[in-house]
Amino acid sequence: MALNGVGLVLPAFFLFLLGQLCLGSWVVRRLQLKFRTFPEHFLISTTIGILVTGIAVFLLQWTQHIRTGCFVVLLLPCLPAVFELPDLWQRMKSCLRETLSFSRLERFLLLLICGILLLDLVASFAPLTGSDALHYHFTTEQLILEQGFRPIFFLTHSFLCGQGHLLILLGLGLGSEALAMSFIFLGGALAALATACLAARWVPRYYALSFAILFLLTPLVFWQICSSGSPDIWMAAFTGAAVLVISQAQGDSDARRALLAGFLAGGVAGTKYTGCLIAAALALAFLVEYRSRLKGLFFFLAAICSGIWPFLRNLIWTGDPFFPMLVSRLFPERVNPYALGNLLADTGAASTHSLFQAIPFLLFSVKRKAALPGFWEFYGPIVLALLPLAIVAFRNTREWRVRAIVWLCAGLGIFMASGLARFLLPLLPIAFSCIAAGVHYAGKKGWRSVFRLATLSISFACLLGAGGLVVYTAPKVLAIVGAEERQHYLEENASEYHVSQVINKVVNSTPGHGKSLVFLRHLYYLRVPYIVGDPAESWEINPDILKTASDWRRFLHDEEIAYVVRAPSYPDSIAAPLEQLEKEGKLAPYFKTEVQELHGMRIANKREPVQVVILRVVPDVAAPLQGEK
């Protein structure tokens, strides 16, 4: 049964959250670990539960009974819930009673957080329009559900899917795109909780709540939570939880703490390739603080158990655990230089980085040149402006050392490997907690002018972020409440949606059709069997191999391709042989129309006409033109 409509998705989401909390609490209880506050317990337990569930979803993929397995996975927390619910209920009641002692300001801030989260959650239910989500985040998991768990070489980015994508697969497997988006929202909510918990170790409660609000109102954050369709936000939650665990005082439970911290660090590494750098920084911080090879071994083994799965999948399928990043060294004869070059450019790995950019990069203040300002890069100026306060507040304690090591080492690693600012998102809760400590220190020292200026800067940043959030989410909320039809919303906001609909309508109207060769980037709304023909996006399409019309005829036959969709033109690197097939009558005109599509960045809302020509693959004689608009 598919979960359609907010009325079903909301209770399903909260039941899922409760299940993950119970599952993680059971693990924490088995390890005999305790944390300072219930919010810390909630954060760490839920993230542990999510990682365990993700491993279960990964393993069930190999059975090829994925939809059924997704429902079975939901039963995983049932037994732990029997043991954990009574204790959790008592803790929750105690936490609720504690809120009665909050000041008016603290209650207002808490209500504001709830309001922002509610708005983000509702907005996340809107139809999917994020560019990368339409390209591969959601498309890959949709293809796995439709075609089974196997390598998708015609979509190179599919090999970048990590642990977080398993939550997307779970949501889609349960029949709901909105539920999958709510799981991404949950990662953002837990990342905000991590920001508050990290800050609360040093500062009064209202400071911690204020910086959680600042985190939620950071443009890149709310774009990630409610629109992008990317699960990268989970890395921030895992990283924050791992830092909290590592920062605990030493004691008899250090070996068990190493297992828990390593498990969380593995979750960071398994979510994205750059997460390996953050996990390495977490491991370094752990070794510096605990100075034990045995505990370091426990940390490493736990990290392997939680984070190895995407790398193991790629290793089995391709021989390269980081496919396709190492294939040029491991198997140079298999390299598709067009797809590899595009992927390296897209991830920033092909860019050169000046050391002069390292400092502003670490302070969340660098963006790519020649790119329009957008939510996908913008953190705001707070870290850059208030860093001096954090520096003077620094103390040689475990908590400061752990955060400094993770922030600096992981940030430098990401800078050298990629240089894309959005990959710093997992470190933002750490940075905000340090800035919170600096502002509090200025207040205690009586630096009134500095303190007031810092407070005003934070307030102004929150107001700007709130305005951006309202403007950005308004169309999504209108679509959810029914003020705008889903079809119209997608036509206005989803790139290449019109082209996809034309292909769906024309190709599906032909009985017994084969696959379609398409050159689109945004594939999620295609409802026909297809193969991507763009050499920049498909590892299968190598212009160095497919050089002639004969090569292409053989490829079209072997892949059972019945239609080729030219919209608006072929990529330059393969245009000549395909145009030759058209001249020879091997690709015959079948349908032709023109649509208006978004051009460039969606934020600019520019449109241009796109000619869609659907060609039928025929052995000898061209078919007549079936329709033209």
- Per-residue pLDDT of 318-361, as tens digits, reads 999 999 999 988 888 889 999 999 998 888 776 777 777 889 99
Judge contact between 532 and 579, C-beta under 8 A: no
Give burial (CB, 10 Å; 0-12/13-18/19+) of 356: exposed
Is the confidence at residue 6, as pLDDT, over 90? no
Q: Diameter of the chain by CA atoms?
A: 87
For CA atoms 441, 447, 448, 450, give the dihedral sign. Answer: negative
- pLDDT at residue number 356: 78
Amino acid in position 72: V
Q: Please, which residues have CB within 8 angstroms of residue 402's CB and are 6 or more apart in sequence?
A: 243, 246, 247, 285, 289
Per-residue pLDDT band for 367 (boundaries 50, 70, 90) equals: low
Q: Which two tokens stand for residue 270?
A: 């398994």
Cα 401 from Cα 395, distance rounded (Å): 8
Is the confidence at residue 149, as pLDDT, over 70? yes
Is the confidence at residue 252, as pLDDT, over 70? no
- pLDDT at residue number 333: 85
CA dihedral 618, 622, 623, 627 (to 10 degrees): 110
Is the confidence at residue 380, as pLDDT, over 70? yes
Judge contact between 211 and 199, C-beta under 8 A: yes
pLDDT, average across residues 12-20: 95
Cα 271 from Cα 238, distance rounded (Å): 10
> What percent of the chain clears pLDDT 70, i.e. is strictly above it?
94
> Which of 1 and 5 is assigned the larger pLDDT?
5
For the chain, the structural domain boundaries read 6-341, 495-628
CB atoms closer than 10 angstroms to residue 90: 10
Q: Please, which residues have CB within 8 angstroms of residue 595's CB and are 6 or more apart in sequence?
A: 498, 499, 502, 609, 610, 612
Of 243, 197, 259, 201, residue with least CA distance to 42: 197
pLDDT, average across residues 564-593: 93
pLDDT, average across residues 469-492: 90
Per-residue pLDDT band for 374 (boundaries 50, 70, 90) equals: low
pLDDT, average across residues 369-398: 82
Per-residue pLDDT band for 508 (boundaries 50, 70, 90) equals: confident
- pLDDT at residue number 369: 55
Bridge pairing between strands 587-599 and 606-617:
antiparallel
Per-residue pLDDT band for 627 (boundaries 50, 70, 90) equals: very low
Q: Please, which residues have CB within 8 angstroms of residue 108's CB and are 6 or more apart in sequence?
A: none
Alpha helices in 291-378 (DSSP H): 293-307, 309-318, 327-330, 337-347, 358-362
Backbone angles phi, psi at 27, to 5 degrees: -65, -45
Per-residue pLDDT band for 513 (boundaries 50, 70, 90) equals: confident
pLDDT, average across residues 140-159: 96
Is the confidence at residue 16, as pLDDT, over 80? yes
pLDDT digits (tens, 9 = 90+) for 408-445: 999 999 999 988 888 999 999 999 999 999 999 999 99
Average of per-residue pLDDT values in the chain: 91
Helices and strands, counts by H and E, the chain:
27, 6
pLDDT digits (tens, 9 = 90+) for 21-36: 999 999 999 999 989 8
Alpha helices in 539-571 (DSSP H): 549-558
- pLDDT at residue number 504: 94
- pLDDT at residue number 628: 44
C-alpha pair distances (Å), 146 with each of 97, 150, 172: 48, 11, 11
pLDDT digits (tens, 9 = 90+) for 89-110: 999 999 989 988 899 999 999 9
Q: Please, which residues have CB within 8 angstroms of residue 14's CB and are 6 or more apart in sequence?
A: none
Greatest mean pLDDT among 266-270, 332-336, 369-373, 585-589: 266-270
Is the confidence at residue 152, as pLDDT, over 80? yes
Alpha helices in 104-218 (DSSP H): 104-124, 131-132, 138-147, 165-173, 177-200, 205-216
pLDDT, average across residues 474-497: 90
